[in-house]
Structure 1
Amino acid sequence: MNVFLSRASVELVEYCDNYGTFFKIKQRMLGKIAMKYRISDCRDIAPARLCAAMNAAFSDYVIPLKLSETAFRTFQRQRGFSAEHSFVALQGDNIAAFWFSGEPRVEFGKLAYTLSVGTLPDHRRKGLSRQLLGAVIAQQQLSGSKGLQLEVIITNDAAIRSYEAMGFYRHRTLRVLKLSSEPASQSLDYAPGPLDLSQIPTETGGFFDTEPTPQNGRLALQALSPDHHLLGIQVEGKLLGWGAVYPDGAVAQLAVHRSVRRKGLGRTILQALWQAAGEDSLTFVNVDESAAAVNGFLEQAGAQELLRQYEMQLHLT
């Protein structure tokens, strides 16, 4: 059963897949909780307010979130935030909960990426996330979306149960790793040089064993350009491999063509990324655990696992 909430009204329209019949449920039947909150998209809400709400929602975590507005705007750009597809629950003028989403992307099978979901502590256990999801789904379907995807830490049992109750399923497992010492480089006749994003092929099957997650994909690099270092090795005009790292040391991509692996190119590119970032460590966020080659390479280079996440998906019909 899919639930849709309109922006302009608190009237709920519930569509029953089994019978193909629409039922209208008036405001009075939503009960006292629903009457206290208003669902709105984010088109008229300033980034500063959204940032404050996100920080407040995660203020009681073991490591509280403390994003600056500048960092929040970078987060929005990197992950494809769409104000039209993102929704908040308002109590008066105050944000009580949010569901930040991107628009559906062809590059990801017309799935839309969920940047973050949160509820401020005083408003939890009131079903706000489910109401927000209804609003998100309604808008996504208008945009031709085939579903949603998000990530959740595998030890967050409560969040996983909640998403599964909403219809999400575990699609794949992703690793987060950290490299704390400069990698050794192999002596080669050629060195990595700066690349333009236009030099990276759109068909990357020969380079990637699995596709990057949205915050590491081509669209993310494009959105944050020129705020990243993109370096590659070319021989006689042919691109053999490349790497991309953000200024904070987060590596978005590391790719070597299958035909030239195990020849030291990966280590050489990795060291170049380390030097370009100028940080005391590199992080690798959302490495697919099924990508045996890249996981083996990173572990051999000295990277240590920090945590794992599930990529979860919800398919719409």
Structure 2
Amino acid sequence: MTYRITDCRPFEPQALCAAMNAAFSDYVIPLNLSVGQFEEFQQQRGFSAEQSFVALADDGIAAFWFSGVPMAAYGNRAYTLSVGTHPGHRRNGLSRRLLGAVLETQRDLGAAGLQLEVITDNRQAITAYEAFGFRRQRRLGVLKLDALPAPGVVTHAARPIGLDDLPDLEDDYFDTMPSPQNGRAALKALNSAVHLVAVVRDGELSGWGAAYPDGAIAQIGVRKPDRRQGVGSAILHALWQAVGRKELTFVNVDTDATGVHAFLRKAGAREVLQQDEMWLDLD
């Protein structure tokens, strides 16, 4: 079969959403994004139509590689939002061809490389990415919290804030870098929909938390001198109330961030899967 590789500029979100749903239709939990959810996905993760490509067959989109532009905050690497192939077009080398097109346009932009996440149990995908030149960098956990623990003695109050209230430098609050879908650019892209709360003590920002409307927690950062003083718990309770859902999800928590994991486990969160963050360096 003959395939034509083209970027995503000619395609409306409806077509790209349908292609993504079809590519993951035979997974254990099939993907079923609405067009609205797909557009939010694009915004949050920095989708660029010029840097994203599809493989076209006679029956429509056979495969895709959705990408963003190089990000200064992530070593000038471009984030891969998603890669997928329709079940009827697999094993035809389409991902490699799409990657070639992505790399060509990323080189034109001066990108230092690409990065993505893949579920650690998906050995076939990891093997394919390694064959493309990607290398594993860190392990990320996905956790769920389906019951909020009793707050105990309330020593702090978290209140809503805006993105402009966050510090330019985050090193005093984070031990490791959030993945791109949870970074500052993602929060800005979905600014009006993000729940953002903070604890302020003596005029200083002790910590903050950010959540998306679906209950996914993008960030919880507490200033190092203010840790183990109930600040994180106050933020967690405020986010639970703000989101108004029956569970919270913590996506891509670096497993090397032992303090964060200890805090979440103590709160009752359980790990449901792990992902590998992988990088491809460009010459």
**Is the shorter-chain TM-score for this pair beyond 0.5, marking a shared fold?**
yes
Q: Is the aligned partner of 1:202 residue 2:138? A: no
Query: Deviations along 1:8-45, whole A, 9 cap, x unmatched?
Result: xxxxxxxxxxxxxxxxxxxxxxxxx5xx1111000111
- Whichever residue aligns with residue 82 of structure 2, its letter is S
Counterpart contact for 1:186–1:268, Cα < 8 Å:
no
Sequence identity, in percent? 58
Q: Is the aligned partner of 1:142 residue 2:108? A: yes
Give the aligned partner of residue 299 of structure 1.
265
Counterpart contact for 2:8–2:50, Cα < 8 Å:
yes
Give the aligned partner of residue 163 of structure 1.
129
Give the aligned partner of residue 99 of structure 2.
133
Mapped partners of 1:187, 1:224: distance in 2 = 34
Query: Deviations along 1:161-201, whole A, 9 cap, x unmatched?
Result: 00000000111000000011013324345411111101111
List aligned pairs for 1:9-88, cutoff 5 A. Answer: 33=1, 36-88=2-54
Mapped partners of 1:211, 1:186: distance in 2 = 30
Query: Deviations along 1:261-287, whole A, 9 cap, x unmatched?
Result: 111111111011111111001110000
Mapped partners of 1:302, 1:190: distance in 2 = 20
Counterpart contact for 1:85–1:100, Cα < 8 Å:
yes
Q: Report the CA distance between 1:202 and its aligned residue.
A: 1.8
Counterpart contact for 2:210–2:218, Cα < 8 Å:
yes
- Whichever residue aligns with residue 122 of structure 2, its letter is N
Residues 186 and 238 (structure 1 numbering): CA distance in 2 closer, same or farther, change over 3 Å?
Answer: farther
Q: TM-score scaled to structure 2, two decimals?
A: 0.98
Instruction: Report which structure shows greater RCO (CA 8 Å, sep ≥6).
Output: 2
Highest Rg: 1 or 2? Answer: 1
- 4+ runs of 1 displaced by more than 3 Å? 186-190
Mapped partners of 2:170, 2:77: distance in 1 = 19
Q: Is the aligned partner of 1:122 residue 2:91? A: no
- Whichever residue aligns with residue 107 of structure 1, its letter is A
The number of residue pairs the alignment matches comes to 283
Give the aligned partner of residue 270 of structure 1.
236
Q: Is the aligned partner of 1:179 residue 2:160? A: no
Q: Which stretches in structure 2 are left out of the alignment for 5+ residues?
A: none
Q: Which stretches in structure 1 are left out of the alignment for 5+ residues?
A: 1-32
Q: TM-score scaled to structure 1, two decimals?
A: 0.88
Mapped partners of 1:81, 1:56: distance in 2 = 19
Counterpart contact for 1:41–1:86, Cα < 8 Å:
yes
Query: Deviations along 1:131-178, whole A, 9 cap, x unmatched?
Result: 000000000011110000001110101000000000001110000000
Secondary structure at the counterpart of residue 103 of structure 1: strand
Q: Is the aligned partner of 1:237 residue 2:203? A: yes
Mapped partners of 1:313, 1:302: distance in 2 = 32
- Whichever residue aligns with residue 48 of structure 2, its letter is S
Partner of residue 191 from structure 1, selected from 157, 172, 176: 157
Give the aligned partner of residue 12 of structure 1.
none
Secondary structure at the counterpart of residue 173 of structure 2: coil
Secondary structure at the counterpart of residue 25 of structure 2: coil
Secondary structure at the counterpart of residue 202 of structure 1: coil
